[in-house]
Structure 1
Amino acid sequence: MYQVLLTTLLILSVIIVAVIFIQPAKNQSSNVFDSGTGALFERSKARGFEAVMQRLTAILVFLWMLVAIGLVIISSR
């Protein structure tokens, strides 16, 4: 069981990194030190592809955390 969870954690890690790199860049807040943009702290609702990618990332990270906690529980026994 430990090896299965460890393999799952590795696969989820690679998928999470790939999904994060696929997400579209937000040009508005790319430069934190640029005081010219007043929209730095404004929230805009994600739509379309960006919304799907945000949800997918959140689900994958949640699954990653569950597997990691499972590994901790198994390894402590």
Structure 2
Amino acid sequence: MNSLLMVLLWIVSILIIGSVLLQPSKNNDAMSSLSGGADDLFSDSKPRGFEAFMQKVTAILGIVLFGIALILMWLSAH
């Protein structure tokens, strides 16, 4: 059981890295890097299409990764 969960943990962690790398960049100019992107803080634009999909995939993979890690921790304690 531990081996299967460890393999799943590795697979999910690689998928999370890939999903983060596939997300489009939000900084379009050099000024936003200097200001820290504060002008985007109150913008009303919602992500659409591929960007929204990748955000959902990343969130779901993060929850799965956290859940598997908690299960592995519980199994190692008992």
Q: Same fold (TM over 0.5)?
A: yes
- Aligned-partner Cα distance in 2 for 1:15–1:34: 31
| TM-score, length-scaled by structure 2 | 0.84
What is residue 49 of structure 1 aligned with on the other side? Answer: 50
Alpha carbons 1:2, 1:71 under 8 Å: kept: yes
Distance in 1 of aligned mates of 2:48 and 2:26: 13
CA-based RMSD: 2.1
Structure 2 residues without counterparts, runs of 5 or longer: none
Large movers: runs of 4+ above 4 Å: none
Paired amino acid for 1:70: I
Aligned partner of residue 35 in structure 2, secondary structure: coil
Unaligned runs of 5+ in 1: none
TM-score by length of 1: 0.85
Q: Does 1:76 align with 2:67?
A: no
> Residue type of the partner of 1:22?
L
1:28–1:39 Cα contact (<8 Å) kept? no
Between Structure 1 and Structure 2, how many residues are aligned?
75
